[in-house]
Amino acid sequence: MKRINFIYTLFLLILTSCNGNVRLYVSPAGNDINEGTADKPLLTLEGARKAVRAVRLKHPGKKVMVYFKGGVYPL
């Protein structure tokens, strides 16, 4: 039974990683003129919001996932 659960979980991970989701990254060391990639993250929550809206306009069918690196994000 554990093996079946492992295979099912692995299958779900593969499906979710290949489904074409857009990933945006935000970091206190980032900059809002960046693309929002892991190497060039965004800086603010406002920058992330704008990036999500831009992605949704350009690719309406894709899901957008925003990852926040550890730190303080002042409002």
Structure confidence by residue, pLDDT tens digits, 6-20: 554 544 444 444 457
**Cβ-contact 48, 66 below 8 angstroms:** yes
Does 44 map to a domain? yes
Render pLDDT for 45-65 as a digit per residue (tens, 0 to 9): 999 999 999 999 988 888 999
Does 59 map to a domain? yes
Q: Closest by alpha carbon to 47, among 61, 19, 66, 70?
A: 66
Does 2 map to a domain? no
Does 16 map to a domain? no
Which parts of the chain are beta strand (E)? 22-26, 64-68
How many domains, in total, are found in the chain?
A: 1
Q: What is the pTM of this model?
A: 0.71
Does 48 map to a domain? yes
DSSP state of 11: H
- pLDDT score for 51: 94
- pLDDT score for 48: 94
Does 75 map to a domain? no
Does 14 map to a domain? no
Residue 26: domain span = 21-70
Does 46 map to a domain? yes
